[in-house]
Amino acid sequence: MQPEYFDKQLLKHVQILGIIGNNSMENLYTARYFASQYDMEHKVLLSNNKKLDGFKSIFSKEDLMFIENNTTLIVHDYQTIFPRDDRKSNIKLRELLDMVIDKNIMLILTSNSNTEVDRKTEMRVDAWIIRQLRIDLLRNGSIVKIALDEMKNHPDITSFGIRVLQDEFFFYDLYPTELGVNTKYKLPITIDVPVEQHSMSER
């Protein structure tokens, strides 16, 4: 059975969106698509070394204090920018989450792992985009693992991983406004991430 196309109305109450999958670059270009679904004046990418057309690039979390209101912010591979501290918590990441709530900022976090985020911080993410990944590498008790367990009756979720094409994903809203929205979807675009040149093209 073919998945439905994703309706951006599902994001109307989502201020903090997480994207997780094995392929870091696919996560980034998926984030770019979802950033385009928010009608914000500014677009900013925080990354160790990546750039995106149409986004202002910053490379240090110290620069976050200068972000303006009415901004969509992508934090790419957030686990490398906000690792757990000595107490195994994510205080600095939580401070960012507090900031986006206080300001009119839409935040998109991408990661290829959830081992660097504690449960308390993970619960602050409103919804998750789950791409191709190995379930056995997920942290036990994590929101993403719980999400996949709740959707385990879907034929494309197995005990080892999930089956999705490059333009497909599972969506999990922690606080869905209606039944049946947490399932597999398809993007209305094709994500093309070549080795040498990364692009996203409309169908």
**Which one, of 141, 61, 79, 142, lies nearest residue 116 by Cα?**
79
Domain boundaries, the chain: 4-202
Q: Please report the pLDDT score of residue 195 as a whole number.
A: 57
Q: Give the pLDDT of residue 161.
A: 87
Q: Kind of pairing, strands 189-192 and 16-20?
A: unpaired
Which pLDDT score, from 0 to 100, does residue 198 have? 43
What confidence score (pLDDT) does residue 202 get?
41
pTM of the model: 0.92
One-letter amino acid of 23: N
CA 201 to chain centre: 20
pLDDT at 199: 42
- Low-confidence stretches of the chain (pLDDT < 70) are 1, 86-87, 194-203
CA–CA separation, 21 and 30 (whole Å): 10
The class (CATH top level) of 4-202 is: alpha beta
